[in-house]
Chain A
Amino acid sequence: MATITLDTVRKVYAGNVEAVKGVSIDIADGEFIVLVGPSGCGKSTLLRMVAGLEDITTGEVKIGDRMVNNVDPADRDIAMVFQNYALYPHMTVYNNLAYGLKNRGMAKDEIDRRVKEAARILEIGEYLDRKPRALSGGQRQRVAMGRAIVREPAAFLFDEPLSNLDAKLRVQMRVEIKRLQQSLGTTSVYVTHDQLEAMTLADRLVVLNGGNIEQIGAPIDVYDKPASTFVASFIGSPAMNLLNVKTNGSGLALEAGEGLSGANTMGRDSYIVGIRPEHLEVVDSPPSDDGIALEVNVDVLEPVGAESYVYASFPNGGQEIVIRVSSHAHHEPGEKMYLKAAAENVHFFDADTGRRVD
């Protein structure tokens, strides 16, 4: 177990493509960190640099107190779980787990003890003699995690480990990974593009975009106070409604058209206003109290079971917004709808930089 420290780590590929642009993260001992972002944001590159599979262009990676920039992956005391499992197809499950231990010259009975122990934790004891091809996707995933556990490493690195599983299994394995990490207490870095996975697993989230860190924080903090429009739209499903707003005197109005009103509390000329779908309340008549009032026409109602989503647009077209309503609410397409959002649930972002304005 160990801390992991990244100090202004950069990765520049041949042809001057900068995949990671000076990222610094301090990961505490036993912490579960999730790197999340869209594809091409540099999250996998970052993880692979920690693993030692990618050279570090500039900056420093430390595991514990040791600078590991030039340390071989095998000597970094880490274990990695790959998206496609990367099990050795010609070896039995037992040998897949034991291979890394054999290579470091561990005694046979110690190897046996660790493999059996990992098999017990992951409930793969009965498959130890099988080859990976005789296992289902979920079982292969367990074996891949087993291969990480037997190493008893300072840190686990997960590279989108659940992406190849079907939706149901993914939820199941997600819970299991969390439980496992909590019981082992091993520092973990987990890469995913799935914001739900990120939210549910992380002690702290690192939202990456274009090789830069957009925000680091506990999932709920990132959700409640997104640092930029990018984070706001990336975390949460359906995404936060982002509206371009200008000020007219002391009030707010949509940049294009009508349908929005509210008090200008920030003292700027234009903003991007963000409101989550669940923070929009449907009211009977145009509201007049604090916060923001909207007037929209229903386009589509999308029931998902526990709740429904209304897709609506402003009277003279323009942006579309999403509203979460109860699953039993009735809204006909074309119907007029009055909405309000409490002041504390309205996020303001700079119109040019997209950064949060408080």
Chain B
Amino acid sequence: MKKIQIWDHVILLAGVFFMVTPVVLTLMTSTHDAITVYKEGVQFLPGGKFLENYETVLFQAGGFTKEVDGFVMLKNSMILGFGFAIGKIIISMLAAYAIVYFRFPMASLCFWVIFATLLLPLEVRILPSYEIVQSLGMVNTYSGLIVPLIASATGTFFFRQFFMSVPEELLEAARIDGAGPWKFFKDILVPLSQTMIAAIFIIMFVYGWNQYLWPTLITTDESLFTLVRGIKQILQVWVGAQIPAFNEAMALAILAIVPPVLIVVVFQSWFVKGLVESDK
């Protein structure tokens, strides 16, 4: 028994080590100057350039056009993350509502067609998607960045499963109470789905935040760059031709990690609370 416990801990610690070490190294390296990093490689101990480096990446305009700073990229990532997550939640809730509560011809076929799109990730349909967005003149706009991505088979599936678990009597009670389809959705289903919304928000925010391929294609204007893209951009041109600014790239990477972590931490406690308290 004891022996097993020790092994359990060893395995857990190893897991923690592999998960946390890269983040710690990134954080440590981001507090040194570029020359140290270039000469000595990744740093294990904190250096003295924390404030300077973070100030540089946040507020000093860089990039090819010298127009965009880290703060703008952070803002762009936020817009993408929130727009992506909220858009997906709205669209998939409405789709699931239609599928579960309205008897229209071939409803289940519709559901399975939506579900089958899971088999076609963005990468597969990227050319036609780009063609459509481009022909609608949405290249280099926030809506071009967000709207083509918000249809979500995963979200629709989760909400469908959840709605199907809501007791039929609740709908009937609401009907007798004079709630029409829209009122039932707004007054009953949405409040009941809070935990589900929180869960999907977490997943989708992080997913949207980490988007790389689509933003790369659709935004050529640097003022629309997201953080995740900015990291790569920094290494190419941030400080000119001499030494690659690894320290600043690391600082930007840390900045890119913080918001999703915050979202997960904040929503997770809310999510768990909702799970414990709610009974349908």
Question: Is A bound to B?
Answer: yes
Enumerate chain A interface residues (CB-CB to B < 8 A): 51-53, 72-75, 78-80, 82-84, 86-91, 99-100, 103-104, 133, 147
Q: List 22 A-B contacts (CB under 8 A).
A: A73-B176, A74-B176, A74-B178, A74-B179, A75-B178, A78-B176, A79-B176, A80-B173, A82-B169, A83-B169, A84-B169, A86-B167, A86-B169, A86-B172, A89-B279, A90-B188, A90-B194, A99-B177, A99-B179, A100-B177, A103-B183, A147-B173
Q: Smallest CB-CB separation from B277: which chain A residue?
A: A133
Given A73-B176, A103-B183, output 19 extra A-B contacts at Cβ < 8 Å.
A52-B176, A53-B172, A74-B176, A74-B177, A74-B179, A78-B176, A80-B172, A82-B172, A86-B172, A86-B173, A88-B174, A88-B187, A89-B278, A89-B279, A89-B280, A90-B191, A99-B179, A133-B277, A147-B177
Chain B residues lying within 8 Å of A99, measured Cβ to Cβ, are 174, 177, 179, 187
B79 is an interface residue with CB less than 8 A from chain A: no
Cα distance, A78 to B175, chains bound together (Å):
11
Contact B172 A133 (CB under 8 A): no
Chain B nearest Cβ from A49, distance in angstroms? 13
Q: Check A53/B178 contact, CB under 8 A, given A88-B170, A89-B192, A89-B280.
A: no
Contact A86 B170 (CB under 8 A): yes
Chain B nearest Cβ from A324, distance in angstroms? 40
Sort A-B residue pairs by CB-CB distance and give the 6 closest, nearest first.
A100-B177, A74-B178, A86-B169, A103-B178, A86-B173, A90-B191
Cα distance, A87 to B178, chains bound together (Å):
15
Tell which of A82, A86, A91, A100 has the most Cβ of chain B within 10 Å: A86
Q: Check A100/B178 contact, CB under 8 A, given A82-B169, A86-B167.
A: yes
Cα distance, A273 to B12, chains bound together (Å):
76
Q: Check A53/B175 contact, CB under 8 A, given A84-B167, A86-B170, A133-B279.
A: yes
Proximity string of chain B (240-280) to chain A, C-beta cutoff 8 Å, 1 when within and 0 when not? 00000000000000000000000000000000000001111
Q: Smallest CB-CB separation from B176: which chain A residue?
A: A73
Chain B residues lying within 8 Å of A100, measured Cβ to Cβ, are 176-178
Cα distance, A99 to B172, chains bound together (Å):
14
